[in-house]
């Protein structure tokens, strides 16, 4: 409109200079009308026309191809984000076989593999896109020597089995310009495997807090796949939380877990009571020691572990030789450790058999840390196909090995999504003929790879830097309180809960504040039990004779008999029977008499101390004692002094009178 007004003003100015003819005037009017129509058309176009993305189309794989038998076919599903009207095509490019596991792990979905392609498929024209957004497609392709195969690999014999980088490219169908490309491993199987790679999956469920939904998803998954030889390493502290839950569904899940654990091929692996860093608590002793962590875990898990099966202990990383020997002292001769323990042994390939500790019957299996990370984080199709291909690559490291091999793969469970993601990965594993699931017991039964000494393991030599979350002094104070309660009576109801709070406070998953909250809970329970014992104090004791007895009354609100030490202290009293007595309180109120002998009459304090059998002080009290008794020695001395005084006084009077008489006579 601004431009139109400018034009009108210009015309008026021109009109002032030269008077236009009628024809000129009509021409100007038509020009103005044309300008208005043009601007109106532009406005309508700006309002009604859709805005298209100007970025290049992108390709995302939603379902990566499964392994393929040479001569067969497979498929891949992918989505494309593009603008309507785009003319697109896809084609597959196959690169040379991956020769090592490290090369496979270095491959990414966005990188172009090294080397020249060995086969390129004909492009597949995609249907025209009619709307903005993501569109899903499925392509089927084959691999073989036949020219009709999508990807031709001629002259293939058994040696061509392996993982191959497969790149799927999205390009412009008219110009050939490549817009997007994604690389995934494709497992090609040219011949039947001589012996599948044994794979033992270990579910590791050790979250900082108990979640009934996550617990249910774990139990439901195991129960649904009860025919498969899975193992479970669940933090015993989570089991305790489940057992104390008020939700009926949680107790139903516990019953299902118990039923699952009794089936052949299944096992519940023992861990520490809470997920700890052993190097952080290696200096802690007694009820909060590493050994106590294992002992309490055994108490919790024993009802869920099948009898007759050799028990397995899974240690945490990092570790030290002293703590690694702790489970063996408790009867564990099968240990699961991170495979990083074996880095000092210079393995050329992934260890696929147990290792025996020299001069012992202990065998060790390494949990593959790379596979554990892959299967625990397999939240996309690309990650799932990489995890499965990694297992296949371990098989391809020694494809003709006739001996049984097995790897242990941990699956870290943190929420319900972790379980569902592994379920999708499991489908790929079960469809791969190179992989065979085996139980943990079968993996340990494989002949040992070699025998080594413990000092050759790559163990931590110093506490890790993450130990700052532990309030060790507060833990030691809680441990002393627990030992005090334990010496009173091992059946005190709160004792077990106090210890479990302290053991849970050692968890490496907790912050220092969260750890202190658990320690404070333990301290409150301990004080409640300790302060249940007290002394009934009188205002004062009055003793009327030199030898007497003092009754001391002690009360206990604990519901079990307890043993205590009762001690009296005074500088003015003697205790013929001793000033310490060990007594057992079987009633809420108990009275004990102490024979005493008074050294001197008067008033003085008497201190009463209640101690636990371990010597720690439970309660103290001070009362007054008033003695009216006379000591025999004191009486004799007093009478003797009085006699001496009377004798002196009498002689003094007699002498005075005698002197007076002598003076008068003179």
CA distances from 515 to 289, 470, 520 (A): 16, 7, 9
Q: Which two tokens stand for residue 231?
A: 């193992």
Residues written for the chain: 666
Q: Express each pLDDT in 33-43 by its tens digit.
A: 666 555 454 44
- CA–centroid distance for 198 within its chain: 27
Half-sphere CA count of 506, side-chain side, radius 13 A: 33
Place of tokens 């085996």: 438
Q: Do 533-630 and 197-270+305-456 fall under one CATH topology?
A: no
Q: What is the pLDDT of residue 46?
A: 36
Q: What is the pLDDT of residue 602?
A: 84
Dihedral, 310, 243, 202, 213 alpha carbons, nearest 10 = 170
Residue 162's closest CA among 111, 108, 118, 199?
118
Q: Express each pLDDT in 235-286 by its tens digit.
A: 999 999 999 999 999 999 999 999 999 999 999 999 999 998 888 888 889 9
Whether the pLDDT of residue 85 is over 70: the answer is no
Alpha-carbon gap, residue 199 to 387, rounded angstroms = 13
CA distances from 663 to 5, 202, 305, 559, 659 (A): 163, 126, 119, 92, 6
The CATH architecture annotation of domain 197-270+305-456 reads Alpha-Beta Barrel (3.20)
Q: What is the pLDDT of residue 465?
A: 58
Q: What is the pLDDT of residue 634?
A: 60
- Residues above pLDDT 70, as percent of the chain: 85
CA distances from 391 to 70, 192, 586 (A): 19, 16, 64
Beta-carbon neighbour count of residue 331 at 10 Å?
Answer: 10
Q: Which two tokens stand for residue 276?
A: 């700890």
Q: What is the pLDDT of residue 334?
A: 92
Alpha-carbon gap, residue 303 to 398, rounded angstroms = 41
Residue 573 host element (H or E): strand 573-574
Domain locations in the chain? 2-48, 58-189, 197-270+305-456, 533-630, 634-666
Residues 6+ apart with CB under 8 A from 18: none
Whether the pLDDT of residue 355 is over 70: the answer is yes
Q: How confident is the model at residue 541 (pLDDT cuts 50, 70, 90)?
A: confident
Q: Express each pLDDT in 68-77 by its tens digit.
A: 988 889 999 9
DSSP string, 347-395: -SS---S-EEETTSS-EEEEE-HHHHHHHHT--SHHHHHHHHHHHHHHH
Residue 660 host element (H or E): helix 632-665
Q: What is the pLDDT of residue 273?
A: 95
Q: What is the pLDDT of residue 345?
A: 73
Q: How confident is the model at residue 614 (pLDDT cuts 50, 70, 90)?
A: confident
Alpha-carbon gap, residue 169 to 280, rounded angstroms = 51
- pTM for the model: 0.79
Alpha-carbon gap, residue 484 to 614, rounded angstroms = 6
The CATH architecture annotation of domain 58-189 reads Sandwich (2.60)
Whether the pLDDT of residue 410 is over 90: the answer is yes
Alpha-carbon gap, residue 129 to 87, rounded angstroms = 8
What letter does residue 19 receive in the DSSP assignment?
Answer: P
Residue 626's closest CA among 514, 561, 555, 543?
543
CA distances from 151 to 78, 108, 119, 177, 316 (A): 19, 21, 6, 21, 46
Q: What is the pLDDT of residue 201?
A: 97
Q: How confident is the model at residue 632 (pLDDT cuts 50, 70, 90)?
A: low
Residues 474-490 have a mean pLDDT of 89
Residue 400's closest CA among 366, 431, 434, 432?
434
Q: Which two tokens stand for residue 184?
A: 């995934």
Q: What is the pLDDT of residue 34?
A: 62
Q: What is the pLDDT of residue 163?
A: 94
Alpha-carbon gap, residue 572 to 574, rounded angstroms = 7
| More confident: 462 or 309 | 309
- Residue 169 burial (C-beta neighbours within 10 Å; 0-12, 13-18, 19+): buried
Residues 6+ apart with CB under 8 A from 494: 485, 525, 526, 528, 529
Q: How confident is the model at residue 23 (pLDDT cuts 50, 70, 90)?
A: low
Alpha-carbon gap, residue 615 to 617, rounded angstroms = 6
Residues 6+ apart with CB under 8 A from 135: 79, 80, 81, 82, 129
What letter does residue 466 receive in the DSSP assignment?
Answer: G
Dihedral, 56, 57, 62, 65 alpha carbons, nearest 10 = -100
DSSP string, 394-431: HHHHSTT--S--EEEEEEEE-SHHHHHHHHHHHHHHHT
Q: Express each pLDDT in 510-533 by its tens digit.
A: 889 999 999 999 999 998 988 888
Q: Whole-number mean pLDDT of the chain?
A: 84
Assess if CATH 3.40.50.620 describes domain 533-630. Answer: no
Q: What is the pLDDT of residue 11?
A: 44
Q: What is the pLDDT of residue 35?
A: 61
Beta-carbon neighbour count of residue 516 at 10 Å?
Answer: 18
Q: Which two tokens stand for residue 83?
A: 């603008």
Dihedral, 456, 462, 467, 471 alpha carbons, nearest 10 = 120
């Amino acid at each position: 409109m601004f431009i139109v007004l400018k034009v009108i003003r210009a015309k008026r100015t021109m009109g002032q200079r030269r008077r236009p003819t009628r024809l000129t005037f009509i021409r100007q009017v038509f020009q103005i009308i044309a300008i208005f129509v043009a601007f109106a058309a532009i406005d309508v176009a700006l309002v009604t026309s859709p805005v298209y993305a100007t970025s290049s189309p992108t390709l995302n794989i939603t379902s990566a191809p499964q392994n393929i038998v040479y001569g067969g076919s497979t498929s891949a599903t992918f989505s494309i984000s593009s603008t309507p009207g785009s003319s697109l095509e896809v084609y597959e490019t196959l690169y040379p076989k991956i020769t090592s596991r490290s090369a496979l792990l270095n491959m990414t979905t966005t990188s172009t593999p090294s080397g020249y392609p060995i086969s390129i498929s004909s492009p597949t024209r995609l249907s025209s896109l009619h709307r903005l957004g993501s569109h899903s497609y499925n392509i089927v392709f084959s691999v073989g020597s036949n020219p009709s195969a999508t990807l031709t690999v001629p002259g293939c014999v058994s040696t061509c089995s392996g993982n191959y980088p497969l790149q799927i490219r999205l390009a412009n169908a008219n110009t050939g310009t490549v817009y997007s490309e994604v690389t995934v491993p494709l497992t090609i199987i040219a011949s039947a495997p001589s012996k599948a790679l044994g794979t033992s999956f270990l579910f590791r469920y050790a979250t900082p807090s108990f979640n009934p939904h996550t617990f249910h998803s774990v139990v439901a998954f195991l129960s649904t796949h009860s025919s498969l030889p899975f193992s479970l390493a669940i933090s015993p502290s989570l089991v305790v939380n489940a057992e104390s839950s008020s939700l009926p569904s949680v107790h139903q899940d516990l019953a299902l877990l118990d039923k699952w654990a009794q089936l052949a091929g299944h096992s519940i692996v023992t861990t520490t009571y809470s997920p700890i860093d052993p190097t952080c608590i290696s200096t802690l002793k007694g009820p909060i020691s590493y050994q106590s962590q294992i002992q309490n875990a055994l108490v919790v898990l024993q009802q869920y572990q099948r009898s007759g099966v050799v028990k397995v202990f899974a240690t945490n990383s990092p570790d030290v030789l002293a703590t690694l020997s702790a489970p063996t002292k408790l009867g564990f001769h099968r240990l699961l450790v991170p495979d990083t323990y074996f880095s000092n042994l210079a393995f050329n390939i992934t260890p696929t058999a147990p290792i025996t500790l020299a001069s012992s019957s202990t065998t060790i299996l390494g949990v593959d840390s790379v596979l554990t990370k892959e299967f625990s984080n397999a939240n996309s199709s690309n990650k799932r196909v990489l995890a499965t291909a990694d297992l296949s690559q371990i098989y391809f490291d020694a494809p003709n090995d006739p001996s049984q091999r097995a790897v242990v793969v941990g699956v870290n469970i943190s929420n319900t999504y972790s379980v569902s993601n592994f379920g999708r990965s499991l489908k790929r594993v079960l469809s791969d003929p190179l992989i065979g699931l085996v139980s943990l017991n079968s993996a340990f039964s494989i002949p040992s790879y070699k025998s080594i000494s413990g000092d050759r393991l790559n163990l931590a030599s110093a506490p890790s830097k993450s130990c700052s979350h532990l309030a060790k002094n507060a833990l030691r104070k809680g441990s002393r309180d627990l030992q005090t309660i334990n010496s009173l009576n091992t059946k005190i109801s709160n004792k077990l809960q106090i210890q479990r709070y302290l053991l849970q406070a050692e968890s490496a998953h907790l912050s220092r504040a969260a750890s202190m909250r658990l320690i404070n809970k333990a301290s409150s329970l301990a004080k409640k039990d300790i302060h249940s014992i007290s002394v009934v104090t009188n205002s004062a004791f009055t003793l009327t004779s030199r030898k007497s007895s003092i009754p001391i009354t002690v009360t206990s609100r604990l519901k079990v008999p307890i043993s205590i030490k009762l001690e009296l202290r005074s500088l003015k009293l003697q205790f013929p029977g001793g000033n310490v007595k060990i007594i057992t309180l079987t009633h809420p109120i108990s009275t004990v008499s102490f024979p005493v002998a008074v050294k001197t009459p008067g008033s003085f304090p008497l201190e009463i101390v209640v101690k636990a059998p371990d010597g720690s002080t439970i309660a103290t009290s001070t009362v007054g004692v008033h003695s009216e008794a006379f000591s025999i020695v004191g009486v004799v001395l007093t009478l003797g002094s009085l006699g001496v005084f009377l004798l002196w006084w009498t002689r003094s009077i007699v002498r005075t009178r005698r002197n007076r008489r002598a003076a008068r006579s003179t």
